[in-house]
Amino acid sequence: MDFAFTEDQQTITQAARDMLLETCTPAGLRKMLEQNQALDAARWATITEMGLPGMLAPEAAGGLGLGLSDFIAIAEAAGYAGLPEPLVELAGVAVPLLAEFHDDRGWLARAAAGEIIAVGHAANPFVTDADIAAALLLGHGNEVHLLAPEAVVLTRQESVDPFRRLFRVDWAPGPETRVAASWGLTAERGALFAAAQMIGLGQRCIDLGVAYAKDRNQFGKPIGSYQAVKHLLASAQVKIEFARPVVYAAAAELDLASLPARARAAHAKIAAGEAADLAARSALQVFGAMGMTWEVDLHFFLKRALALKFAWGTPALHRGTVLSRITSLATGPDATFAAELAR
Amino acid sequence: MDFAFTEDQQTITQAARDMLLETCTPAGLRKMLEQNQALDAARWATITEMGLPGMLAPEAAGGLGLGLSDFIAIAEAAGYAGLPEPLVELAGVAVPLLAEFHDDRGWLARAAAGEIIAVGHAANPFVTDADIAAALLLGHGNEVHLLAPEAVVLTRQESVDPFRRLFRVDWAPGPETRVAASWGLTAERGALFAAAQMIGLGQRCIDLGVAYAKDRNQFGKPIGSYQAVKHLLASAQVKIEFARPVVYAAAAELDLASLPARARAAHAKIAAGEAADLAARSALQVFGAMGMTWEVDLHFFLKRALALKFAWGTPALHRGTVLSRITSLATGPDATFAAELAR
Amino acid sequence: MKLEYTDEQRAFRAEVRKWMAENVPAEPLASFDLTREGFEAHRLWERKLNDGRWGMVTWPEALGGRNLDLIRWLIFEEEYYRAGAPTRVNQNGIFLLGPTMMEFGTEEQKSRFLPRMAAGEDIWAQAWSEPGAGSDLAGVSATATLDGDHYILNGQKIWSSRAVFADWAFGLFRAPGSERHKGMSLVLFPLDAPGVTRRPIARMDGELVFAEIFLDDVRVPVANRLGDEGQGWNVCMATAGFERGLLLRSPARYQVAASKLVALYEAHKQDLPASMGERVAQNWMDAEAYALAIYAMCSRLNAGGKIGPESSTNKIFWSEMDIAMTQTALEILGPRAELMPQAPDAGDVGDWLEDYIFALAGPIYAGSNEIQRNIIAERMLGLPRG
Amino acid sequence: MKLEYTDEQRAFRAEVRKWMAENVPAEPLASFDLTREGFEAHRLWERKLNDGRWGMVTWPEALGGRNLDLIRWLIFEEEYYRAGAPTRVNQNGIFLLGPTMMEFGTEEQKSRFLPRMAAGEDIWAQAWSEPGAGSDLAGVSATATLDGDHYILNGQKIWSSRAVFADWAFGLFRAPGSERHKGMSLVLFPLDAPGVTRRPIARMDGELVFAEIFLDDVRVPVANRLGDEGQGWNVCMATAGFERGLLLRSPARYQVAASKLVALYEAHKQDLPASMGERVAQNWMDAEAYALAIYAMCSRLNAGGKIGPESSTNKIFWSEMDIAMTQTALEILGPRAELMPQAPDAGDVGDWLEDYIFALAGPIYAGSNEIQRNIIAERMLGLPRG
């Protein structure tokens, strides 16, 4: 029992985090929007060179052969940076799915090398980044189909988060497009990594709020010296502190695929969503009217959090999973860990 | 349309309130407990002399022939004072029920004159003040039966509020005890007047907290000058301010007996319960450890509020009533008042 | 206590309803913030209201009003929102400056400004906040320097809704060298005066709903000062009372939103957990509670009462209710909540997302909720000042 | 990151479970607050734990401990709560004073006090707060006046749980004339010393769970001072860190409560709205989140980390969770929630009401949640002091 990242994990996370924070700045985000870019090619090249898209792919496919726990804090850092590129969806969702296929038709290696694979799972009404995907994994009943971009018709659906590139995908399944009979744990991995991003987003909102509260004076002193402002931000930080370990635990347990493991991912999604929501709204209150403007960076993170809260299963759906876990399986202090319940 | 008490209403309320606050002090409550008294005879005599028990009884039965709106703010004042005697249950619940009977067997006049009638409605598992009742109104299926104290067996059930004298009543129905085929609006009146008492209880908790916050110094100044303390009490006051008009409106509308009128009473019970709960817990936080003690008066009001929150229908039950009102009848700005919906 | 309309009140409601049915534009008007055309369309609507004597029903008849009491004002508002009539482009004028001017203005000011305001000839913007003075309004630094019978205005104002296309603004300025609450005056100035520059500010969703105003040696006659020299703070606080208390936040608005929310819930309830019904019921109850509290307040004001610090309780309640209500709608919409209304598959998402973003500003503007809680604690509950 | 016990850890759990099954009293012990008999029964339980070397498993073996790491401590606590074993009458000693003494005490003090503490021979009470010094602990006014090699203690202490029957107390005293954080010392004194008077205080439900201690010229040797002269504040803050951070609030306690809540819900669910299931699920998630956060913290501490201001986040989380959890239970019990356990028809109300009342104290004691939020804001987030 060791609930801490290994040194290796810390090293790779720190490197990825440093790279993301250095290359992905709010100023850069604004520039991408002005130039209507979906992807920063230089950053994506760096991400790919670091091997991040293939972290969870087996070494045979050119990946690093690592597990969910190795990538979870990188997903958190991607949220913290407000990363617009679909690294988390590619490395955390598409790659593990491709790795489960009997025949991935070569796409696992291509994904691990940074080619974007869009994932159209029934949990989400639209497909993100479908317009920049080299291939699309789409659902037909329970089946997974693999489509080439030429074989689908895309209709853009504007999101409040301009970096969320949502599309309705019209396509026709055929025997030749079918690649798998089921999605496995795709929905749970989607929820888990959305949760990780939300932890990062929430923490970023708090950090922005704290910086502003130190700087902004009203009634002759920094607003951060008022108890009301302090307590707003402190309460949000408490929410983050008790959501983050759930996310990390869910990453460590999900591969067990049991109900306790799936309930943990559900819990992670609920808790991270609430924490990010509270953090974003608390920071907004600290920023005051400035926070409502396009000029201040807060909205990039607030809007991403809003969208991710409902992506990969609503809070209501995930609550249902938790409720069925606690009413059908043992609870209590010796029933905390999924691995122990699986014995 | 006039959402204000008449001068007459204000006069009688003020007189009752002054009397209650003067005669019912926390010191007096402590004395009653020491002496194991269920009722302060002198106060009850004054209450009776003022005609309060019979306010809602017709003049023919020796009452004042008034309506629910005339008594609602007195019930609130009884809550504020922490009155231990069952004035509200007698005047607000038992008397209107007796007044609906085809044959009240003389009990309406006796109740109006201050004899205590205990009410055993199915909304509550136990009967309050059964040991000091001159008669008991008890339920058998939908029917109402009237029992003499000699004809029942009482088992005391200790409540956290020592002034809530709860009893299980064992008894046998017979043709001669049956007095009515149904309870009419008894449950709704019970909920309404519990709500009114909770508004008073909540306001009392806030007032106690405010007084202590002005007086108690920490870190060299009154704790009431700290924003955290201010905001606790201010938030509780906001809850009270937006529950009280609902209670008053419910009193004005309940006799219509329509679903909107019953939903209003349900809303009043929910809102007043939440307001009193928040007020009591906020005041407790202001008092700190002192508030946890028997020595400080706060607990009299906190415990009564806790009990009344679940009496006469749980919040969950009342939410169901509100939900059925909004999903089956018109809503919107021209659908506010029950009288207009009844036209 | 009589919670029933009189026959006269019912007849009044019928009259409003009939007029609205005949006059409210079938299609929503274009935004008054984005284009001059949209702004002018709203001005025309103000004129049409004024022509029907519906511009501001509580105003005196001489000013085109109907001198109605607040209960009838509530009925008017209920029918206005029920009909889905356009947002009042001149709300800063008719709801805030108008009542303030009736209380503090000279006869000359009233006759110069109020009829034009009522008729939509002058559309007003508010110019209070500054980049350095938000919650701390006494921190404003824009100056009004006396120069003979004129003031020379200098400084920067922010969060001036409508200011991009409006005709006039009212703002808080201070005598050079004065400090905090002293030495301030409320001054009215035309937005096309030489030295005035206006710049729209984009909201987080890209909508342009605020503006900045830069004042560079703007000359206005002293007769444009509302209230006495140096009394600007008191005049401004009276206006703020109108803002957070009552006039800008009539309950009908939330009751219409609650009705829409019930309909949204009904349309989706087969896919929702049972608890969503309880949330919707709570939102509806809040809207009702707000309406009842305002009816009680209006009854009291009709009987000669005054608005006190309870306007702060109103502000906290409506702002928190608005967030809770729009949040419920987003929860019901689930993964479609993030969609902009123009998305091809937006379906019934409607304006809930924009309403939510607007609601997020509620605890901030018109005096942040932190300030309101201080006011409640100090002025209603009597707790000592920090 | 490996969320799986080792075989050794599993064997350890089995060992604890077996011992508890064989030793935990079948019937709950009488209250240690109400009678000397109940108190002594709990002392016997402490002795029995110590005899089995289960008194404090993280303590060194020389002191009767097992020198176990914090993960095994968590496993021990899980089995302890799972078995429904008695509340630790000596928690002030073993969880608070013990670790503090190991850090700050002299060798003489360690050998004089710790073995007796471990064996239940000395049961300890805490004597920090005073009527005038609650959240503001630096405001204590009780004095320790140096008189040769003795201190003369004078003053009044309050909220000293267990003090009525305990043997010793540790308290915060100041040198006469000293102010605020300076000049304080942590002094140990026997509760049967001449000049010590103890008075129980009744809680709102009539239970006697606190006490006051009056000190009137109580003489204790200077050797009873823990830490350096005038360093009492620092020693006390270290102890407070233990109190709110970890040791007194092991997650197992809340996980057992959450399990009971699930069972209560299952027993009544046919009469409850569907939303109650969601509330129970939320309460369970909170207990899990707390457990996971503590496992993460213990893993970090095992690797050599220190507890910092995040102990304040723990304190806020468990105290709010405890209220939410017990409130859900009361909602499920509905009109029976008000019943005392001795009511003849109490049925399955159990201790939820008392647990709720106890939970209400959570945001108050061990540093109020207002103080904890200040600490988080200032020390974790770096916001400026008021």
Give the number of residues written for chain D. Answer: 386
The answer to whether B128 touches B118, Cβ cutoff 8 Å, is: yes
Residue range C146-172: mean pLDDT, rounded:
95
CA distance C275 to chain B (A): 11
The rounded average pLDDT for each run of 10 residues, N- to C-terminus, in chain B (343 residues) is: 96 98 98 95 98 98 97 98 98 98 96 98 98 98 97 98 97 97 98 98 98 94 96 98 98 98 98 98 96 96 98 97 97 96 92
Residues 6+ apart with CB under 8 A from B200: B75, B76, B77, B78, B79, B80, B81
Subunits with 3+ C-beta pairs closer than 8 A to B: A, C, D
Q: Is residue B200 part of a domain?
A: yes
Of C266, C254, C243, nearest to C318 (Cα)? C254
How much is the mean pLDDT over chain C?
93
Q: Which residues of B touch C135 (CB under 8 A)?
A: none
Residues near C358 by beta carbon (within 8 Å), at least 6 away in sequence: none
Residue with tokens 């209400």: D360
Which of A4, A267, A331 is opposite residue D259, by nearest beta carbon? A331
Can you give the residue range of the structural domain that contains C313? 249-380
Using the CB atoms, write b or e for D275-290: b if 16+ within 10 Å: bbbbbbbbbbbbbbbb
Domain assignment present for residue B259? The answer is: yes
Residues C150 and C37 in one domain: no
* Six token digits for residue D256: 């057992």
pLDDT of residue C134: 82
User: Least CA distance to C278: which residue of chain D?
Assistant: D275
Strand order in the sheet with B166-170: B127-128, B166-170, B153-157
Contact A176/A103 with Cβ under 8 angstroms?
no
Q: What is the pLDDT of residues C17-74, one digit of tens each?
A: 999 999 999 999 999 999 999 999 999 999 999 999 999 999 999 888 999 999 999 9
| Domain finish residue from D72, D89, D106 | D89
Residue at B1 is within a domain:
no
Confirm whether B144 is domain-assigned. yes
- Residue C257: strand, helix, or coil: helix
Name A178's bridge partners: A145
What angle do the packed helices D232-245 and D310-333 form, to 10 degrees?
40
- Smallest CA-to-CA distance from D296 within D273, D278, D271, D314 is with D314
Tell me, what's the pLDDT at C247?
Answer: 58
d(CA A118, CA A141): 18
Give dist(CA D186, CA D173) in Å, integer: 6
Q: What span, in angstroms and rounded, lies between the C-alpha atoms of C285 and C271?
A: 23
Any C CB within 8 A of A27 CB: no
* Strand D124-127 versus strand D168-174 pairing type: parallel
CB contacts under 8 A, A 98-137 vs C, are 123-126
Burial class (CB in 10 A: 0-12, 13-18, 19+), B220: exposed
B314/D373 CB distance under 8 A? no
- Cβ neighbours of residue B166 closer than 8 Å, sequence gap 6 or more: B126, B127, B128, B156, B157, B158, B159, D338, D339, D343
Q: What confidence category does residue D242 fall into, taking pLDDT thresholds of 50, 70 and 90? A: low
Q: Do D253 and D376 lie in a common domain?
A: yes
**pLDDT above 90: residue D209:** no
State the CATH number of the domain containing residue C361: 1.20.140.10
Q: Which residue has the higher pLDDT, C306 or D252?
A: D252
Q: Do D316 and A339 make contact, defined as CB atoms within 8 angstroms?
A: no
Nearest to D281 among A237, A241, A323 (CB): A323
Torsion of CA A248, A254, A258, A262, to 10 degrees: 70
pLDDT at D274: 86
Q: Give the model's pLDDT for residue C305.
A: 85
If asked whether residues B33 and B148 sit together in one domain, one would say: yes
Same domain, B197 and B326: yes
pLDDT score for D306: 82
Same domain for C174 and C84: no
Between CA A24 and CA A32, with CA A30 as vertex, the angle to 5 degrees is 75
Q: How far apart are alpha carbons C149 and C169 in whole angstroms?
A: 20
Mean of the per-residue pLDDT values for chain D? 93
What three-state secondary structure class fits D311? helix
Q: Does C135 lie in the same domain as C43?
A: no
Residues C214 and C130 in one domain: yes
Check CB contact under 8 Å for A289 and C337: no
Same domain, residue pair D253 and D198:
no
Examine the fold and report which residue of D179, D199, D231 is the final residue of a domain before the chain moves on: D231
Contacts of D260 in chain A (CB under 8 A): none
Same domain, C224 and C264: no
Q: Which of A265, A254, A251 minimizes the C-alpha distance to A72? A: A251
User: Could you tell me if C274 and C371 lie in one domain?
Assistant: yes
When pLDDT is averaged across residues D3-18 and rounded to a whole number, the result is 98
Residue with tokens 């490996």: D2
What are all long-range contacts of B183-186, with beta carbons under 8 Å and residues at least 24 apart? B183/B97, B183/B121, B183/B139, B183/B142, B183/B144, B184/B97, B184/B100, B185/B96, B185/B254, B185/B255, B185/B257, B185/B262, B186/B93, B186/B96, B186/B97, B186/B119, B186/B121
Within a domain: residue C101?
no
Contact A246, A267 (CB under 8 A): yes
Asked, for residue B2, whether it belongs to a domain, the answer is no
Q: Which residues pair with A156 in a beta bridge?
A: A167
D383 closest CA partner among A278, B226, C134, A229: A229
- Position C386 in a domain: no
Q: What is the per-residue DSSP string for A308-339?
A: HHHTTS-HHHHHHHHHHHHHHS--STT---HH
Question: Is D368 near chain A, with CB under 8 Å?
Answer: no
**Is the minimum CB–CB distance between B219 and chain D shorter than 8 Å?**
yes
> Residue C157 phi/psi, 5° resolution?
-115, 155
Residue C61 contacts A, CB cutoff 8 Å: no
Low-confidence residues in chain A, pLDDT < 70: none
Length of chain A: 343
How confident is the model at residue C243, as a pLDDT?
57
- H or E stretch including B199? helix B186-215
Residue D243 has pLDDT above 70, yes or no: no
Q: How many residues does chain C have?
A: 386
Tell whether C129 lies on the interface with A, counting CB pairs under 8 A: yes
Per CB-CB distance under 8 Å, the chain B contacts of C260 are: none
The answer to the question of residue A274 being in a domain is: yes
Residues D142, D156: Cα–Cα separation, whole Å: 6
Residue of A nearest to B230 (CA): A228
CATH of residue A320: 1.20.140.10
Please state, in angstroms and as integers, the Cα–Cα distance from residue B332 to each residue in B257, B326, C263, C284, following that order. Answer: 20, 10, 11, 9
d(CA D173, CA D185): 5
Rounded distance between C-alpha atoms, residue D158 and residue D206, angstroms: 17
Instruction: Kindly list the residues from chain B whose CB atom is less than 8 angstroms away from the CB atom of residue D205.
Output: 160, 299
- Same-domain status, A159 and A195: no
CA distance B273 to B193: 12
**Same-domain pairing of C214 and C139:** yes
SS3 category, B135? strand
CA–CA dist D249, D262 (Å, integer) = 21
Give the closest-approach CA distance of D81 to chain B in angstroms.
26
Q: Is the ipTM of this complex over 0.85?
A: yes
Same domain, D256 and D375: yes
Q: How far apart are CA A224 and CA D385, in angstroms?
A: 8
CA dist D360 and D243 (Å) reads 17
In a domain, C117, yes or no: no
Q: Of C67, C89, C111, which closes a domain?
A: C89
Q: Are residues B111 and B217 in the same domain?
A: no
Q: How far apart are alpha carbons A324 and D26 in whole angstroms?
A: 33
- CA–CA gap between residue D161 and residue D22 (Å, rounded): 30
CA–CA separation, B279 and B209 (whole Å): 9
Structure confidence at residue C242 as a pLDDT band (50, 70, 90): low
Q: How many domains does chain B have?
A: 2
Domains of chain C: total: 3
Same domain for A48 and A159, yes or no, is yes
Chain D contact for B291 (CB, 8 A cutoff): yes
Contacts of D278 in chain C (CB under 8 A): 273, 275
Nearest-CA residue of chain A relative to D282?
A319
First to last CA, chain D: 40
Specify the amino acid at residue D325.
M
> Mean pLDDT, to the nearest integer, of D117-139?
91
Q: Does A329 touch chain D (CB under 8 A)?
A: no
Domain membership flag for residue A2: no
Q: Is residue C139 part of a domain?
A: yes
Are residues B331 and C298, on separate chains, in Cβ contact within 8 Å? no
Q: Which residues pair with C169 in a beta bridge?
A: C125, C189
d(CA B254, CA B196): 14
A59 and A88: one domain? yes
B1 to C292: CB separation less than 8 angstroms, yes or no: no
Q: Residue A174's domain is classified under what CATH number?
A: 1.10.540.10
Which of A225, A227, A231 is best to mutate for the B interface (most B CBs within 10 A)?
Answer: A227
Taking residue B151's Cβ as centre, other Cβ atoms within 10 Å add up to 16
Share above pLDDT 70 across residues of chain C, in percent, rounded to a whole number? 98
How far is residue B236's CA from residue C316's CA, in Å, rounded to a whole number? 11
Q: Could you tell me if residue B17 is inside a domain?
A: yes
Distance of CA D62 to the CA centre of its chain: 24
Q: Where are the alpha helices (DSSP H) in chain D?
A: 7-23, 36-51, 70-82, 91, 98-104, 107-118, 232-245, 252-268, 274-302, 310-333, 352-360, 369-375
Residue-wise pLDDT tens digits, D142-193:
999 999 999 999 999 999 989 999 999 999 999 999 998 999 999 999 999 9
Catalytic residue numbers of D, as ranges: 243
- Verify that B142 and B284 share a domain, yes or no: no
Domain CATH code at residue D155: 2.40.110.10
Scanning C214-243 for CB atoms below 8 A from A yields: none
Q: Are residues A13 and A152 in the same domain?
A: yes
Flag whether pLDDT at C386 surpasses 80: no
What does the pLDDT read at residue C161?
Answer: 87
Is the pLDDT assigned to residue C363 strictly greater than 80? yes
Angle between helix B68-81 and B244-253 (nearest 10): 140
Contact between C73 and C224 under an 8 Å Cβ cutoff? The reply is no
Q: Do B228 and A226 touch (CB under 8 A)?
A: no
CA dihedral (B56, B57, B58, B60) positive or negative? negative
Q: Does A327 reach chain B within 8 Å, measured CB to CB? A: no
Residue B264 to residue B269: CA distance in whole angstroms = 9
3-state class (DSSP) for residue D20: helix
The DSSP symbol for A194 reads: H
Domain termination residue (choose one: B128, B156, B180): B180
Same domain, B253 and B166: no
Do B43 and B171 belong to one domain?
Answer: yes
Same domain, B165 and B224: no
Domain holding B133, by residue range, is 7-180
B153 and B207 share a domain? no
Distance from CA of A157 to the nearest CA of C (A): 5
For residue B247, the model assigns a pLDDT of: 98
Distance, in Å, from the CA atom of C144 to the CA atom of C154, rounded to the nearest integer, reads 7
